[in-house]
């Protein structure tokens, strides 16, 4: 009977130690959650402050003032705008792989130089 009492007491001590360890771990995890929660709140506050600052910096009036102060731009005149039907016609599409811009820039007549007259039959 005495051996049984010693075994039960040892089991109670081990159970109490396990409960204490679980309580300590849960307290530690609670502290970590509180720390992460406060960091999250701080980051959200910083994001809100940055959004408010961005909204202030992004106002059209402020950008207009900066453009007038730092850029040498001329004011827009209402006569600068026109309808789409008055645009020049679109250039024809070039064959695939051809240089469309180069074709528009290429001279229509061969360039001649003043160094030598053309040979007979090459006109």
Residue ranges per structural domain of the chain: 2-70
Residue pair 27/21 in contact (Cβ under 8 Å)? The answer is no
Residue pair 51/44 in contact (Cβ under 8 Å)? The answer is no
Residue 81 is predicted with a pLDDT of: 80
What does the chain come to in residues?
123
Q: pTM score > 0.75 for this model?
A: no
Does 4 have pLDDT greater than 70? yes
Cα 61 from Cα 70, distance rounded (Å)? 14
Does 41 have pLDDT greater than 90? yes
| Residue 77 binned pLDDT confidence (cut-offs 50, 70, 90) | confident
SS3 call for 70: helix
Does 2 have pLDDT greater than 70? yes
Residue 9 is predicted with a pLDDT of: 94
SS (H, E, C) the chain: CHHHHHHHHHHHHHHHHHHHHHHHHHHHHHHHHHHHHHHHHHHHHHHHHHHHHHHHHCCHHHHHHHHHHHCCCCCCCHHHCCCHHHCCCCCCCCCCCCCHHHHHHCCCCCCCCCCCCCCCCCC
């Amino acid at each position: 009977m005495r051996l049984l009492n010693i075994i039960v007491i040892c089991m109670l001590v081990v159970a109490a130690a396990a409960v204490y360890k679980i309580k300590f771990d849960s307290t530690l995890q609670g502290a970590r959650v509180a720390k992460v929660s406060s960091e999250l709140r701080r980051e959200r506050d910083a994001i809100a402050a940055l959004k408010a600052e961005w909204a202030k910096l992004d106002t059209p009036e402020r950008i207009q003032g900066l453009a007038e102060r730092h850029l040498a731009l001329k004011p827009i005149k209402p006569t600068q705008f026109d309808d789409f039907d008055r645009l020049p016609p679109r250039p024809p599409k070039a064959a695939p792989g051809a240089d469309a811009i180069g074709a528009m820039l290429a001279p229509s007549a061969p360039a001649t130089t003043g160094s030598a007259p053309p040979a007979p039959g090459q006109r």
